[in-house]
Amino acid sequence: MRLSTIDAIIVLAYLVGIFILAQWVSREKGGHRKDAQDYFLAGKSLPWWAIGASLIAANISAEQIIGMSGSGYALGLAIASYEWMAALTLLIVGKFFLPVFLRNGITTMPQFLEERYGPTIRTIMAVFWLGLYVFVNLTSILWLGSIAVTQVAGIEQFTALALLGGFALMYQLYGGLKAVALTDIVQVSLLVLGGLLIVGLSLDRIGGDGGAIAGFHALMNAHPEHFHMILGPENPFYKDLPGLSVLIGGMWIMNVSYWGFNQYIIQRALAAKDIREAQKGVVFAAFLKLLMPVIVVLPGIAALMLAPNLDKPDQAYPSMMSLLPPGVLGLVFAALIAAIVASLASKINSISTIFTLDFYAKRATGADQARLVKVGRIAATVAIVLAVLTAKPLLGSFDQGFQYIQEYTGFFTPGIVVIFVLGLFWKRANEAGAITAAVGSFALSIALKLAWPSLPFMDRVGLVFLLALALAVAVSLMTRSRGDANRIRTDDVSYGTGMSFNAGAVGVIAILVALYAAFW
């Protein structure tokens, strides 16, 4: 598979166009120089459509497209639960978490932890998130993205890694979050269009004269085992997606942590003009999440019929791209690069935000706004260089990159959810309890993995959450809080939501019920 001349022109036009657009939307107006709020929170002026699109662009990248297509090839539609349950999680985040964050002027998740508990837990979690974002998130996007670029463009893989990382860095380096968020509507539109094209053409090839609809039915008839959302214990992939745990168990913990307390996700909503705008953006993102499995999972299942003898599941999506005619291949390839670049840029910006505001600004208290922006840009550059250099050593041996990410983050997410949920809704929780939950989550996860290796990791996440919750509550009750520890105001927070949010929430829930009923 190689790009034709027309394909190369389309990809180049996208790269040039999106770079120019990013610089234009983030330009300085009327002699105003960027301050930290402009750079890290887009001047707290994002509209709902930018928030919703940017949430998806930050989320959907190589580890979703390449990784979830690979999981679709290996285990089927059941992997879509990560997407569909995320839609419901977003509604919870919009109704119960965002009102508290925005009421208290929160800019980073570590800042919330200090305001609620104290400085020690802020430092611990800031270090954790920086490590996670650089060595798990950035590396996985770069590695899986480079697989596709190498197969399609014929570029050596390390070169592909460096080019992807370098472009994503330069794309957002000047404008910060505004450059990312205000161009993400273009990125998401291209992602959806490209994804639907590859699905439609793949199914059309399977269906022959009957078209894409006939192709979908033929695929279901040929591989009915790949169209069940809830896997039974007899399924070879039950350990990855253990039955009802995707609905009532550990997947909730994974999703709440990711969508509610993850800096590079929640940062978009924190940059909203107001709470109503943030909530409308979250509902928009929830509807887009319902569509994502069509784009990121179905191509992998289609590869079972069109490319049945792949060496690795993660080759499924690139293999489907090889079937595309000139011109269409260029558009779909541009859509894949759009997803990679948008997600990389989001994570780079959040790394620079946490490093600058939670480390540098805390110690360099006299630093002016221009200095903070400069430090943020330096941190972004260092992060992407580290990720490019460590991507292959960390991910080169994994067959399903998406599952690697879930397994690794599952060691920490139970404690994160405990810390934030107690911090939001239980005044007696204190820093000692929070630190116990953070450390206990990792220690208990390792202990259970070693002592009970047959336990599905999602069930382990749920069990560790309950144990860490019990530890945090017990330690909080046995120790005293500092008198000035809790500076988070919740007494005057309104959890009421507008008509648009309520109507959208009902629509999302209705569609979810229909989907699980159809593919149970």
Give me the DSSP letters along 359-424. IIHHH-TT--HHHHHHHHHHHHHHHHHHHHHHHHHHHTT-S-HHHHHHHHHTTTHHHHHHHHHHHH
Distances in Å between the alpha carbon of 225 and those of 69, 199, 214, 316, 520?
16, 19, 18, 18, 11
Question: The domain spanning residue 501 has which CATH number?
Answer: 1.20.1730.10
Q: Is residue 503 part of a domain?
A: yes
Q: Is residue 196 part of a domain?
A: yes
Read out DSSP for 49-115? HHHHHHHHHHH-SHHHHHHHHHHHHHH-GGGGHHHHHHHHHHHHIIIIIHHHHHHTT--SHHHHHHH
Please, are residues 64 and 292 in contact by the beta-carbon 8 Å criterion? yes
Please, are residues 181 and 54 in contact by the beta-carbon 8 Å criterion? yes
- What is the mean pLDDT of each successive set of 10 residues along the chain, which is 520 residues long? 84 90 79 73 85 88 79 91 94 96 93 92 90 88 83 84 91 82 84 88 91 93 92 86 87 93 90 93 96 92 90 84 85 84 88 92 82 92 94 71 65 93 94 94 94 90 96 95 80 90 96 92
Q: Read off the pLDDT of residues 197-231 as tens digits, 9 standing for 90 and up.
A: 899 999 999 998 888 999 999 999 999 999 999 98
Q: Is residue 479 part of a domain?
A: no
Q: Read off the pLDDT of residues 320-377 as tens digits, 9 standing for 90 and up.
A: 888 888 888 888 888 888 888 888 888 898 999 999 999 898 888 777 888 888 999 9
Domain range enclosing 255:
5-18+47-409+490-518
**Burial (CB count within 10 angstroms: exposed 0-12, middle 13-18, buried 19+), residue 310:** middle
Split into its structural domains, the chain has a count of 1
Q: Is residue 290 part of a domain?
A: yes
pLDDT of residue 222: 93
Q: Is residue 467 part of a domain?
A: no
Q: Is residue 422 part of a domain?
A: no
Q: Is residue 495 part of a domain?
A: yes
Q: Is residue 175 part of a domain?
A: yes
